[in-house]
Chains A and B, each alone.
Chain A
Amino acid sequence: MMSALSISRPAPVWLHRALVQGCGGLTVIATMACSDGAPSGGDAPKAVTEVAPQALVARSWPVQMSNDAARKPFEQHAGWGALFKRDLPSALGAFVADGKEGRGLARIHTDLAAMYGQAALMGANATRHVYGTDRQATDPMEADYLHGVAMALAADCEKAAGSLAKVSSPEGTYAPFHGYWQAWSTAEGCPASLDMDSLAALPMVQTSLEVGTDPSIPPLPHHSFTETSDEARQVETAELTHLLALSMAHRQAAVDAAPSDEQHLVDVRLSPWKLPILGAAPDFTPLESVDAEWLFLDFALVGADLYFLDAAHRDGLEAVGVWKDRSILAAALAPAVMPEGLNVELVIDRAAEFRGQLKEAMLKVSGTPMGFQPGFAQIGEVAVLRAGMIVADHNGQSRDAGILRINAFERSDGPGRDPLFLISTAAWDAGNRSPLRAQEIVHGLVSRYPSIQAARYPLDALHIRLGRTAAPSTAVH
């Protein structure tokens, strides 16, 4: 599988290893299965459909990076190697070794900001079910506090204030947090932006961090509350405010690391994943050209895709029409826009077809199949599905958005296994009162990102509660 790369020039160790792992994780079989990226056994060559204009596709990072010279600076940097493996902490460490500024650093801090934000959302979604719709009489008195914070993170001032007001005399570890959220939710003009000074004054809350680091939130559990049952057992839980603060700290670190005239790209990239409580980003002027370091291995394939995804999150279907001549993703989605909304079946078909188009375009540049190209093509397919998901979601097609999300999730393998998207899927599942896949996702990521453990408490509580009140079921073999 690595022959083409190896013959032309020895590839860096990370690329060799990543290529093998990216094909499926099992070295021996992956070598056979990936071969050189050519169709396997019984696959007959398929006609390639033009999903996006060739000229646009030619400018995409997968095609650009099929050129040895363009790829060389990336191959030689361990930071990009770690990002290829979607190992964000290692990428952070490798990029900061070059100094505290740079697009690579800004990229990673942005992803971490989005990921911790989604982790907070996951915790909040699970909490609003456990201590809202599925609340039980034996829950601790402080369940109202937990529910209040969950509603605050969803920017629902009224419900947050209502729940927080039910806690008559907060005492102990959560009391300062209760005060903060009560002040926020009852303030004039709520949901106004967060008071960062007050947030930073809360016990052990970290609202800033050193560029190039990913500090963990304070040791868990953060709170222990007493059940209102005869046994008065202790319910241990986490303070989701820490995850929110960590997310905000990473965003600021990303802004600090980015070149001054490109700082708006941090908020543009964050846009689809931003928590409602964080409000709108400052106005900006789109760049004519976005540097490849903002794009390599990303799910925006050309610079305009970044702006399109930001617009799609705000404007939905309308953004497709506005950006379809500049953005590959918008162009891919455009024929699926129907009077009744986005046609998800068509999006799925076009995403698969786009993978073929991307493969062909990459091959034209490289001349010979390269081992990384199937992985890059798969990122392209997932990128179309994710973009469709964002558009459908904004258009009120929540179930359709879910179909696209699941399709994207199923194809998120190898270099496309983006922890941000995985955590956002877990948050979505928790919002749907469906904890099993979310638990698997968190379990798979928690050793690398220990802070997301905080969201595990409400997620586990949701699972136990739903499992104990579900229809009877028996184990089978």
Chain B
Amino acid sequence: MARNPAWTSAGLALLALFGTGTSLSYYEESLPNTLNPLYAETMVDRRSQELVFDRLWFHDAIDNKLKSRIVDRYEVAEGGQALKIQLKPNIKWHNGKSLTSKDICFTVDALLDKGTSAPLAEGYRQVLAGCDTQGNTTAVVRFTQVFHNPRERLEFAVLPQDSFESTAITPDLDFGAHPIGTGPFKGNQGRRGVTFEAVGNAHHSPSLAQLRLSEGQDGSVLVSAVINNGMQGIIAVPPPNRPQLSASDEVTLKSYDLRSWWFIALNTNKGILKDQKVRQALNLMIDRTELRKFAIGVDEGAENSPCEFISGPFVQSSPYYNRSVRAVERANIARAESLLTDAGLSKANGSWTQGGAKVTLNIGMLATLNAEATDILDYIGNQLSEGGFDRQVDKVRADEWSRKVTTGNAQEFDLLIGKWSFGLVEDVNDQFHTRKNGEGKLNIFNYSNAEVDGILAEYSAARTDTAAQDAYHKLHAKLADDLPYLFLWKLDTRSAWRTEVRNNIIAPYYYFTEIDGWKYSK
């Protein structure tokens, strides 16, 4: 019997809503920039998209087994260079239409289309060669070469062909605000939050009827909202607020495996910051121990600290971290001043000048960082001010950061405070490679250093793990010396959920992979 797709969709959603009546509200670091999975730029994007879409394959959040909710069976084909995929039956898109092999191949084609400018798509172009359908339920995905683990290369979110006019998918489409997926929830982004309505499906049966995402505020507000059951969860609890939540019987703190490190990017193309000595001086002027104490609430020498200093673009537990490069923990003003003097700056009446003019630093910060490290922008500004620099400070909204900063178009700033988050893949080539020929896509100030480019090329060309590790150790040492970034610290992420929220398994990196099993009993 033919059914009206829109009616079916609404019916399924309502069924779920009235079936359990449970709605869960939680605080995120910010609103998502986009719900289009090709264009995730923030961890909020990634987490939100995990609710709406199915990835072709994913890793189980408990035992890390590779699984698929939409693939019924598969076989390696064409001498190992293809994977023949049979889809599970009766899976519907949120608009009621059926998921078919055409959607799988459309997604592959979109990733391969150079008109799709997403960095993620560029990565897939090294892996995917094409896709053919064999009837409505079978797709043959082809690879550029034989991989020993072909399924692990296919963790992209599947997109609905009918929602796009072309395989060239651009970031500005309405799909980013009103996406259609096959995931457990249908997402609708408003101006003040995002509502995710449960959608029953052949492969999903979420217990929760609705999730409501709100933008986080001051840490103490978040905490009291959760303790008083005004909200049920906080994705990233600011470290100073963790003990209070930990002491409550009503709330459970949950670990969230995510590798995030913080930095201050320096505009190496502008004014005094072109000079390496000045960058080294600033590195010595920042007292990280004091910053950490006041902004994050971690005392010097604290055991099991959630915040650990770094000297390069990796967390200390990473195999890429070069442990022979020491992190700068304390300021060394005398050495900093000596370097600035060597660089031709003069200090008069407590202020650094160049050519008789006072030096002013324009400092920006990704606004969402303030939730995790309160007033850190001011603390950094104050330290540089005490060091003798005038400063202007400005917070940059997450969407503007994506649009302007990571695209290399925020050259008016001298310093930008930000963080990067990674999962298993800790590739930092895009952050430090010269921005050309598709390289350096996340190079904030268009930093360019031939030696660094050479090291990054070594990493890319590495045939063995040792070669890759050696290259990144070298990179770490070089960046710690050349300082396009002042490396600050890694900061653990911990979530808090009310104890009534049960079975809430948090998946590494993607967070909501196991959301179907979450329950909320008031």
Contact = CB atoms under 8 A, between A and B. Distances in A.
Interface stretch (A246-254, A306-314, A431-439): A431-439
A467 B63 contact: no
Contact of A477 (B42, B242, B243, B304): B42
A91 to B, nearest CB: 15
Contacts of A21: 303
A83 to B, nearest CB: 15
Contacts, number: 221
B247 A26 contact: no
B386 interface: no
Contacts of B462: 468
A398 interface: yes
A42 B422 contact: no
B124 interface: yes
Interface in B220-247: 224, 227-229, 239-240, 242-244, 246-247
Contact of B244 (A33, A374, A406, A474): A33
Contact of B442 (A136, A473, A475): A475
A439 B318 contact: yes
A275 interface: no
B122 to A, nearest CB: 8
Majority DSSP secondary structure for residues of B touching A: loop
Interface in B419-442: 419-428, 430-431, 441-442
Interface string B463-481: 1111111100000000000
A410 B155 contact: no
Given A229-B463, A436-B257, A26 B302 contact: yes
A233 B317 contact: no
B227 A476 contact: no
Contacts of B508: 434, 436-437
Contacts of B243: 23-26, 29-30, 32-34
B302 A470 contact: no
A219 B250 CA distance: 47
B499 interface: yes
Interface in A419-477: 429, 432-437, 439-440, 442-444, 460-461, 463-477
Contacts of A433: 64
Nearest to A34: B247
B242 A475 contact: no
A9 interface: no
A50 B430 CA distance: 57
A399 interface: yes
A231 B249 CA distance: 57
Interface in A70-110: 85
Given A41-B227, A444-B304, A475 B430 contact: yes
B317 A40 contact: no
Contacts of A437: 255, 257, 508
B120 A474 contact: yes
A440 B463 CA distance: 26
Nearest to A35: B247
B469 A464 contact: yes
Contact of A469 (B152, B419, B428, B463): B152
B466 A233 contact: yes
Given A345-B503, A472-B120, A39 B419 contact: no
A465 B465 contact: yes
B147 interface: yes
B244 A417 contact: no
A374 B247 CA distance: 8
A470 B466 contact: no
B161 to A, nearest CB: 21
Nearest to B229: A42
Contacts of A409: 255
A417 B304 contact: yes
Interface in A35-81: 35, 39-43, 46
Contacts of A234: 466
Interface string B490-504: 000000000100110
Contacts of B259: 436
Nearest to B319: A460
A443 B317 contact: yes
A126 to B, nearest CB: 11
A26 B298 contact: yes
Contacts of A444: 304, 317
A388 interface: no
A473 B153 CA distance: 10
Contacts of B218: none
A463 B319 contact: yes
B45 A476 contact: yes
B249 A26 contact: no
B46 A46 contact: no
A324 B244 CA distance: 35
Choose among B119, B156, B246, B462 the residue with the greatest number of A CB atoms under 10 Å from its CB. Answer: B246
A411 B252 CA distance: 8
B430 A469 contact: no
Interface string A371-410: 0001000000000000000000000001100110010011
19 contacts: A25-B304, A26-B299, A32-B244, A35-B247, A39-B248, A43-B248, A43-B250, A134-B148, A231-B464, A233-B470, A402-B63, A403-B62, A410-B253, A411-B252, A432-B63, A439-B319, A471-B156, A476-B421, A477-B43
Given A34-B247, A402-B62, 9 more contacts: A40-B248, A41-B224, A42-B228, A230-B463, A434-B508, A436-B508, A469-B149, A477-B406, A477-B419
Interface of A: 21, 23-30, 32-35, 39-43, 46, 85, 134, 136, 138, 227, 229-231, 233-235, 345, 348-349, 352, 355-356, 374, 398-399, 402-403, 406, 409-411, 413, 417, 429, 432-437, 439-440, 442-444, 460-461, 463-477
List the 3 shortest-distance A-B pairs measured between CB atoms, nearest first.
A472-B123, A24-B243, A460-B319
